[in-house]
Structure 1
Amino acid sequence: MKKILIVIIAVVVAFGCEIDEQININAPALDDILESASKSELNNLTAGAIAGMRNGHSIYVTATGTITRELYLFDADPRNRTDLIGTEGSLDNNSFYTTANWTGRYRVIKNCNILLDALAVAEADVTEAEKQGYRGFAKTIMAHQLLVLWGAYHNSGVRLEVSDPDNPGPVITDPDAVLQAIRDMLDDGANDLSGASFAFALSSGFQGFDTPATFSQFNRALAARAALYAGDMADAITHLGDSFYDINGDLTTGPKMPFSTSPGDLLNDLFKTSDQNGNQIFASDTWVNEAMDPSDLRLNKVVQRDQAFTASGITVNYETELYASSISSIDIIRNEELILIYAEANIGIDNNEALAAINRIRTEAGLATYPGTYTVTVEDILDERRYSFWCEGHRMVDLRRTGNLNESYITFDNITTTDADGNVIPADQEVFTEFPLPLTEIGS
């Protein structure tokens, strides 16, 4: 997707509560938009929000993936390994793995808040149905971004209200309250989309989800995810019925984040060239060795290297082949996830439905299906999700919400360090359950 310069592209909640306004000389100032917003200006805001969803995403994926030991990022910064596996004792509240995701998400949320404020002063040719479309879009995207923040920071807290940069709302440290607010926002967005029209175009990643009706299906898919996280299985099933869930459909169907080589655009930083040592994503050996079946086609997301590689005391044998190129799209949510949400939500409600859903995933992975007498468990779902969503940023949330984000459940790789006498010894490790609140947010 070609990145569109927008009026407020640098007006962001970057650190703390301060908003730095930088004027794009090729477009009107922010104050002008909030005095009289044209349809073109409103559309630029939607484009900026979609483009911004990609910022910080790769850092979130690799950081959470390392915490759960599904992967390791080997690059020039050893903190990607030492800090995240706990050899330094605690996570740093002012390092990139803490701040990049926070900054990236709140940039998008700020875009959406400006869009909502601008609707009050939109020019006369913007119809009420179109305003509803902008509102439904903004609330859906904001809810998605807040859901990512909830997954990362959890008990550390999330700011729900940041529309007024001079008077932002408090950091909410009750994850249940944050999750409920996100669910309410998604419901509000779905209501806005009903009877709405879109005066704006979405990126190529939203092909098939670029009308109010189909975008609403995306909204309901996110609502199903949020309901699952809340343990509200009945609502999860209901929302799936209004989403693009299809147990017999293509598992890859769903909105995506596109990338391109166009000037000013972004590349997919989760793509890595083969056989590199200095900038590579490796699967943990335990992720491969603990697979339910070595014939699982999902193991093709990685490839075994000719020679093992060791850095920071971590020895690895398998590197990523998840993405074909640096412009491969990244899924926001897809049918494969919806099918597994349906399976998990039906545990204890309708085992036949849960079994049919989990067997659909196993069939696609080239695995034998469970017999009709088999009772599906949460552990089964976690196993499927572990391999369906490797290197996609799901594992930390999945383990935490099921009470398994701990040393008893996670298998540590054989990671070593050198003591003061030069002896190679096992390295201390810790399993973190969330990222700390960024330093600039503390006390603000």
Structure 2
Amino acid sequence: MKKISFIILCGVLTFGCEIDEQINPNAPAVENIAEGATETDLNNLVTGVLARMRNSYSIYATATGTITRELYLFDADPRNTTDLIGTEGALDNDSFYTTANWINRYRTIKNCNILLESLPNADESVSAAERDGYSGFAKTMIAHQFLIIWGAYFDSGIRLDVDDPDDFGPLVTDEAQVLQYVRDLLDEANDELAGAEFAMIFTSGFDGFDTPTTFAQFNRALAARAAIYAGDGAAALNHLDDSFFDINGDLNVGPKMIFSTTGGDLLNDLFKTPGQNGNQIFASDTWINEAQAGDPRVSEKVTQRASSFTKSGITVNYETNLYATSTSPIDIIRNEELMLIYAEANITDGTNAEALAGINAVRAGWGWANPLAGTVTIDDVLYERRYSLWGEAHRMVDLRRTGNLNETYVTLDPVTTTDDDGNVIPATQEIFNQFPVPLDEVGN
């Protein structure tokens, strides 16, 4: 792995002012923070983590969404509509869709690790309880980033041991080992948060989750996600009890990544201006056609265009309406997902009535008077997750972890190409299971 530069992002209430590591023989930034970090230093690192975690998230969401044919990104780069659906053969291990997500997830983890390394020698004004708060925050965010990395690269391998930039650990390809590492890290963080105090300043995206107690509820929500990924329904239910899960609550409650038009800050790149062709996210026609009649999530999340549009042999009719503006927040995890974890965990645990309750609470939350009845199956949960979490980078993980990342569950939209004689013919497609490890990582 290439050495990842330390990044501080200036500002507290808004993000911006990215400063790459500067070489200063008299007072190098990393060394200064590692020895005698002040509350301001530590809070800058927290700000950096919350800012960096947004980078390349849109690439992760659109690339995984294209692989599962829930959406397509039509922009200036043809690889979004060729490589990702397998018309060009194997995925490129040196392409933006392979490298950008990897780099930015590990840069976020690096900032978290610097925060952790700074705590033992922090300025004496930082109390023990506050150090526990910073540690619980950092470990929770590292676990979140690892879940994203695992979601993309799976058994291609990810690096769990990245504490020492001069001696990274090996690529880990064992799914059980990765998920257990994440779950253990979340448990460590949760234990620290139990006796912690927060001196840090969060963005408005964490309103309601900015105390040790409420942040721990976010931690337990992530633990429930990791548990359900590991097939541990009983643990998922236990974690939900300690999270912000509310079966009768607002679907949209949960911490979020925020964006702004402030100079140097980021916009939500999953927002696309309506009606444009050159930079637009389109829903797959199969996502539209396979929805149950009257499902309100379809009309809320996408808008039908006046006429069809075709690129790279892919024809589409519906464009994204998922985010209202370029500064709309993106959910990290929300109550709607927790309701569906509750349903899935109860299937695993053999409690059908509660599984039904979880699914029907989501449907009712959308104002849909069409409750399920009878025996709930994993297919029912996959359907609900497909339409509740469209465009949010869940579908690839959901299909793969249930053994369904194949043509039985991924309906291939008709895609055409032109042969050497100029004839339009069906294009060969492939459904990928994961992204390859970036080229720079191979052999390291």
Could you tell me which amino acid in structure 1 is paired with residue 355 of structure 2?
A
Could you tell me how far apart the structure 1 residues matched to 2:17 and 2:306 are? 44
2:7 maps to which residue? none
Q: Percent identity?
A: 66
Q: 2:205, 2:255 within 8 Å by CA — same for their partners in 1?
A: yes
Could you tell me how far apart the structure 2 residues matched to 1:369 and 1:24 are? 64
Change (3 A) 1:424 1:24: farther
Q: C-alpha deviations, 1:138-178, integer Å up to 9, x for none?
A: 00000000000010000011111111100111111112101
Could you tell me how far apart the structure 2 residues matched to 1:52 and 1:23 are? 21
> Does structure 1 residue 46 correspond to structure 2 residue 58?
no
Could you tell me which amino acid in structure 1 is paired with residue 356 of structure 2?
L
1:375 maps to which residue? 375
Could you tell me how far apart the structure 2 residues matched to 1:175 and 1:152 are? 12
2:111 maps to which residue? 111
Q: CA deviation at 1:230?
A: 0.1
Change (3 A) 1:61 1:117: same
Q: CA deviation at 1:219?
A: 0.2
Q: 2:339, 2:359 within 8 Å by CA — same for their partners in 1?
A: yes
Q: C-alpha deviations, 1:375-398, integer Å up to 9, x for none?
A: 111000000000001100000000
Could you tell me which amino acid in structure 1 is paired with residue 15 of structure 2?
K
> Does structure 1 residue 419 correspond to structure 2 residue 419?
yes
2:15 maps to which residue? 3
Could you tell me how far apart the structure 1 residues matched to 2:370 and 2:90 are? 42
Give the 3-state SS of the residue equivalent to 2:190 in structure 1: helix
Change (3 A) 1:272 1:242: same
Could you tell me how far apart the structure 1 residues matched to 2:68 and 2:187 are? 32
2:216 maps to which residue? 216
Q: 2:297, 2:387 within 8 Å by CA — same for their partners in 1?
A: no
2:9 maps to which residue? none
1:435 maps to which residue? 435
Give the 3-state SS of the residue equivalent to 2:281 in structure 1: strand
Q: 2:297, 2:366 within 8 Å by CA — same for their partners in 1?
A: yes
> Does structure 1 residue 359 correspond to structure 2 residue 360?
yes
* Structure 2 gaps, min length 5: 1-12
Change (3 A) 1:316 1:368: same
> Where does 1:13-412 land on structure 2 (aligned, <5 Å)?
21-23=21-23, 29-347=29-347, 348-370=349-371, 374-412=374-412
Could you tell me how far apart the structure 2 residues matched to 1:388 and 1:97 are? 24
Q: 2:257, 2:329 within 8 Å by CA — same for their partners in 1?
A: yes
Q: CA deviation at 1:96?
A: 0.3
Give the 3-state SS of the residue equivalent to 1:121 in structure 2: coil
Q: 1:257, 1:329 within 8 Å by CA — same for their partners in 2?
A: yes
Change (3 A) 1:371 1:114: closer
Could you tell me which amino acid in structure 1 is paired with residue 139 of structure 2?
K
Q: CA deviation at 1:296?
A: 2.5
- RMSD, aligned α-carbons: 1.5
Could you tell me which amino acid in structure 1 is paired with residue 74 of structure 2?
F
Could you tell me which amino acid in structure 2 is paired with residue 110 of structure 1?
K
Could you tell me which amino acid in structure 2 is paired with residue 2 of structure 1?
T
Give the 3-state SS of the residue equivalent to 1:120 in structure 2: coil
Could you tell me which amino acid in structure 2 is paired with residue 343 of structure 1?
A
Q: C-alpha deviations, 1:188-244, integer Å up to 9, x for none?
A: 000010110001111110000000000000000000000000000000000000000
Could you tell me how far apart the structure 1 residues matched to 2:324 and 2:194 are? 37
Q: TM-score, normalised by structure 2?
A: 0.94
Q: 1:4, 1:44 within 8 Å by CA — same for their partners in 2?
A: no
Q: CA deviation at 1:298?
A: 3.9
Change (3 A) 1:203 1:24: farther
Q: CA deviation at 1:24?
A: 9.2
Q: 1:183, 1:227 within 8 Å by CA — same for their partners in 2?
A: yes
Q: TM-score, normalised by structure 1?
A: 0.94
Q: CA deviation at 1:100?
A: 0.6
Could you tell me how far apart the structure 2 residues matched to 1:338 and 1:146 are? 19
Q: 1:269, 1:326 within 8 Å by CA — same for their partners in 2?
A: yes
Q: CA deviation at 1:367?
A: 3.1
Could you tell me how far apart the structure 2 residues matched to 1:283 and 1:24 are? 50
Q: CA deviation at 1:30?
A: 1.4
1:13 maps to which residue? none
Q: 1:297, 1:366 within 8 Å by CA — same for their partners in 2?
A: no
Q: 2:360, 2:372 within 8 Å by CA — same for their partners in 1?
A: no
Give the 3-state SS of the residue equivalent to 2:73 in structure 1: strand
Could you tell me how far apart the structure 2 residues matched to 1:282 and 1:199 are? 43
Give the 3-state SS of the residue equivalent to 1:238 in structure 2: helix
Could you tell me how far apart the structure 2 residues matched to 1:46 and 1:29 are? 15
Paired positions, count: 430
Q: CA deviation at 1:362?
A: 1.5
Q: C-alpha deviations, 1:344-373, integer Å up to 9, x for none?
A: 10015211111111111112234344465x
Q: 1:302, 1:318 within 8 Å by CA — same for their partners in 2?
A: yes
Could you tell me how far apart the structure 1 residues matched to 2:16 and 2:313 are? 43
Could you tell me which amino acid in structure 1 is paired with residue 14 of structure 2?
K
Could you tell me how far apart the structure 2 residues matched to 1:282 and 1:391 are? 10
Q: CA deviation at 1:4?
A: 4.9
1:15 maps to which residue? none
Q: 2:59, 2:97 within 8 Å by CA — same for their partners in 1?
A: yes
Q: 1:293, 1:367 within 8 Å by CA — same for their partners in 2?
A: no
Q: CA deviation at 1:319?
A: 0.3
Q: Which stretch of the first structure deviates more once superposed, 400-409 or 210-219?
A: 400-409
Could you tell me how far apart the structure 1 residues matched to 2:40 and 2:182 are? 29
Could you tell me which amino acid in structure 1 is paired with residue 208 of structure 2?
G
Change (3 A) 1:395 1:250: same
Could you tell me which amino acid in structure 2 is paired with residue 73 of structure 1?
L
Q: 1:65, 1:396 within 8 Å by CA — same for their partners in 2?
A: yes
Show structure 1 runs of 4+ deviating over 6 A: none
Could you tell me which amino acid in structure 1 is paired with residue 153 of structure 2?
Y
